[in-house]
Amino acid sequence: MTSDAQTRIMAMLHAHMTDLEKGDPVAPPIVSTAKYWLPGEPDVPYTYGRDINPTVETCEAALSALEDAPVVGFPSGMAAITAALVTTLKAGERILVPSDGYYVTRALLNEVLATLGVQAEAIATRNYQSADLTPYDVVWIETPSNPGLDLCDIAAITARARATGAISIVDNTTLTPLLQRPLDLGADMVVSSDTKAIAGHSDTLFGHVATRDDLLFEQVKRWRKLSGSIPGPLAAFLTHRGLMTLELRLARMVSNAQALLPVLEAHPKVKTVRYPGIGFIIGLTFEDTTTADAFIEDCPAILPATSFGGIHTSAERRARWGDDVPEGFVRLSVGCEPEAALVEAIKVGLS
């Protein structure tokens, strides 16, 4: 790990401690309040719960140390994505999105933002490199794509977007700011579903937007206040708590994924294995639906669930949601189980 990464992780771990006074609780209090004591002029930061909450601020400060950028927290990844889209697009403008990216982003654009005059066009992640970006006001990037795990070069694409005057936004959910740093690679904004690896325990939804552009930051904050999209204090507490062990969990998840690769690649039941060389998600293709479902159900270590990034290894057949993948394609999210026991359990699932 680079010394920069170590500095950011230290800052994230200690962000809350820097505010403490003697006798304060070390764990961030879950401040559940709609109102603040506010006689006279409203000349204090804490005026109303839709604008600001101390538990949310604690979580944002830790995320911000990791992103090395100001952060706005949201109640889910989609709430963060909505904020990013609404603040960067106007009627008559065009956005490029990946056709193999998270499908709810495209559905939001096609079913809601289209009615407000925003035009979305979708192309495959692998074609971003050669695409003409000049028609677009916003270029949306998701790499590795979800669930297909194709890659594109963030630095090259954000540079071309900037040259044509487009805003670039990266959905960095699958790798987190520990494994991929889109803002350092030239992106104007990052969005993340912290429901996944960042909170990491499958017990809360959360999302965030990060940007080093002051104007965009103010617009996203303003959107949150006007739309009422502030996360609850319990969600912020759980996300902050999960974030404290993100680095440890990711290290185990990634090394487990790498230990599983040769086993999966050598197995005759597995037709293809996709792994982008980084991260904890593996794409597996089985002969058909039956073989894929049998693997998920027979493996004693696999939680059959949608979503990914939790401490438990989980898997699902993505075609059940209509994703453009083969019927037997399984997205495996590798968890934090002890390595040898996990490898054995996966072998049982394959037998």
Binding region for ligand PLP (CB under 6 A): 76-78, 81, 102, 142, 146, 171, 173-174, 193, 195-196, 205, 207
Between 48 and 276, name the residue whose CB sits nearer to ligand PLP.
276
Give the C-alpha separation, 181 to 23, whole Å.
37
Q: Among residues 64 and 192, whose Cβ is nearest to ligand PLP?
A: 192
Residue nearer to ligand PLP on the CB measure, 137 or 194: 194
- If the CB atoms of residues 16 and 239 are measured against ligand PLP, the closer one turns out to be 239
* Nearest CB to ligand PLP, comparing residues 230 and 350: 230
Measured distance CA(147)–CA(329) in Å, rounded: 9
Query: What is the rounded distance in angstroms from the CA atom of residue 330 to the CA atom of residue 24?
Result: 47
Q: Residue 249 and residue 200: Cα distance in Å, rounded?
A: 8
Measuring CA to CA, how many Å separate 267 from each of 171, 247, 273? Answer: 33, 31, 10
Question: How many CB atoms lie under 10 A from the CB of residue 97?
Answer: 24
DSSP 174-228: TTHHHH--TTTTT-SEEEEETTTTTT-SSS---EEEE-S-HHHHHHHHHHHHHHT
Q: How many CB atoms lie within 10 A of CB 145?
A: 23
- Nearest approach, Cβ of 23 to ligand PLP (angstroms)? 36
CA separation for the pair 11, 18 (Å, rounded): 10
Report the residue number whose CB is nearest to ligand PLP.
77
C-alpha 5, offset from chain centre: 19
Least distance from C-beta 295 to ligand PLP, angstroms? Answer: 22
Nearer to ligand PLP, 58 or 172 (CB): 172
- How near is the Cβ of 102 to ligand PLP at its closest, in Å? 4
Cβ distance 173 to 102 under 8 Å? yes
Minimum gap (Å) between residue 19 Cβ and ligand PLP = 27
In the complex, minimum distance from the CB of residue 255 to ligand PLP, in angstroms, rounded to a whole number = 22
Q: Could you tell me the smallest distance in angstroms from the CB atom of residue 229 to ligand PLP?
A: 11
